[in-house]
Amino acid sequence: MMNGSSPIGVIGFGVMGSSMALNLAKSGLPVLGYSRTASKVTALEHSGITLSSPDEIAQLCGVVLLSVSDGPAVQEILFGAYGIAPKLARGALIIDTTTNAPSEALSFATKCSELGLDLLDAPVTGGDVGARNATLTIMCGGPEETFQRALPFLNRIGKRVVLMGPSGSGQMMKAVNQVAVGLSIVAMTEALLLAERRGLNSAQVLEILQGGAAGSWALSNYAPRLMSGDLKPGFDAAHMLKDLKIALKEAAGHCSLPGTETTTELFEQLVTLHKGVGNHALIKAYKN
C-alpha cells in the first residue's frame, strides 16, 4: 500500500487543500479526497481526484495529507468523531499541513507514534497563489526519517520544504511567520490609510512604497487586491487571528511582542465586524 501507485488521502478541501490535492493529482498520484462539503471534492473529479470517506481513506491510504481549519479539527479527524488514526495501517504517514499550536502538533505526533504511525507537522505559507502554483514554503517538524518519507509528496506541492526540528517545530516556524505577515499587513494598512486620509494618490503611493525600504510581499500582492475592492480571501482573516493567538501564546513567558499584540487586537476587531474576508481587508477594522 505504500508504493508509488497506492492512493494518497487528502482531507480538507478549502482554498489550500483543493490546490494541494490538484497538484498531487497532476503529478500522477491517485488521490482520494474527503471534505464535509462533498461538492468541493466532486468538483475536482475531472482532475483525477476521487470522492472518498475518512474510513475508506484510512483503509486504502498509506499516506494522508490533512488541510483543515485548526487543531480541534485535526483532533476530531485523527482521534475523535472521524478517528482515522486507529484505523490506519501501522507505518502509515500523516502529513498535517493545518496550522495548529506547536503543543497540539507535538501531542498529535506522540499519540500517532503510540499507534505506530508517523506524523509530520507541515504548515505552509505562500497563500492561495503558492498553493495553486505548487510554490508553497513548507515548514516541517518531526524526526528526520519522517521528513524524508514525506519529502517526495511535499515536493509536489511546494518549492521550499524545510525541516525545522522535532515535532512542533514546523508549527513554531509558522507562528513566527504569521507574526511577520500580520505586522506586514498592519504596515500596508496604516500607510495606505494615512495616505488616503491626507489626499495622496493611491497608485503613486503604492508604486513608491513598493520601490523602497517599505517594500513587502503584502504590498505587492495584497494592496492591489485591496485597492480594487476585492476583499475575498486569499487567506481568511479569521485564520490569521487564530494564528496570531497561537504566536502570542508561544511568546508568553519568553518575550513580549507589543506589535503582535496590537495586530491581534486589530484582527479581532476585523473578524468581529466582517465575516469571510481576507486578511488583507484589515483596513475595515480602522474604518468602523
Give me the active site residues, please: 174
Q: What type of residue is 198?
A: R
**DSSP state at residue 122:** -
**DSSP state at residue 276:** S
Phi, psi of 62 (to 5 degrees): -90, -15
DSSP 65-121: EE--SSHHHHHHHHHSSS--GGGSPTT-EEEE-S---HHHHHHHHHHHHHTT-EEEE
Q: Which of the stretches 50-58, 84-92, 177-185, 270-278 binds a second copy when contact is defined by CB under 8 A?
A: 177-185
Residue written as cell 524526526? 143
Cβ 276 to a second copy shortest distance, Å: 19
Residue 180 in the binding site for a second copy (CB under 8 A): yes
Contact yes or no for 231/189 (Cβ under 8 A): no
Taken in order 168, 170, 174, 177, is the CA torsion positive or negative?
A: positive
Residue 264 in the binding site for a second copy (CB under 8 A): no
- Binding residue for a second copy (CB under 8 A) from 259, 272, 275, 276? 259
Residue 160 in the binding site for a second copy (CB under 8 A): yes
**Minimum CB distance to a second copy smaller for 32 or for 139:** 139
DSSP 133-157: TT-EEEEEES-HHHHHHHHHHHTTT
Residue written as cell 473578524? 271
Q: Which of the stretches 1-9, 10-18, 111-119, 156-164 binds a second copy when contact is defined by CB under 8 A?
A: 156-164
Residue 90 in the binding site for a second copy (CB under 8 A): no
Cβ 217 to a second copy shortest distance, Å: 4
Residue 197 in the binding site for a second copy (CB under 8 A): yes
Torsion of CA 162, 155, 133, 117, to 10 degrees: -80
Residue written as cell 479527524? 77
Distance of alpha carbon 217 from the chain centroid: 17
Q: Which of the stretches 2-10, 35-43, 58-66, 170-178 binds a second copy when contact is defined by CB under 8 A?
A: 170-178
Residue 125 in the binding site for a second copy (CB under 8 A): yes
Q: What type of residue is 134?
A: A
Cβ 76 to a second copy shortest distance, Å: 27
Q: Which of the stretches 37-45, 62-70, 85-93, 172-180 binds a second copy when contact is defined by CB under 8 A?
A: 172-180
Contact positions with a second copy (CB under 8 A) in 212-251? 212-219, 221, 235, 247, 250-251
Contact set with a second copy (CB under 8 A) = 125-127, 130, 137, 139, 159-160, 162, 164-165, 169, 172-173, 175-177, 179-184, 186-195, 197-201, 204-205, 207-209, 211-219, 221, 235, 247, 250-251, 254-263, 265-266, 286
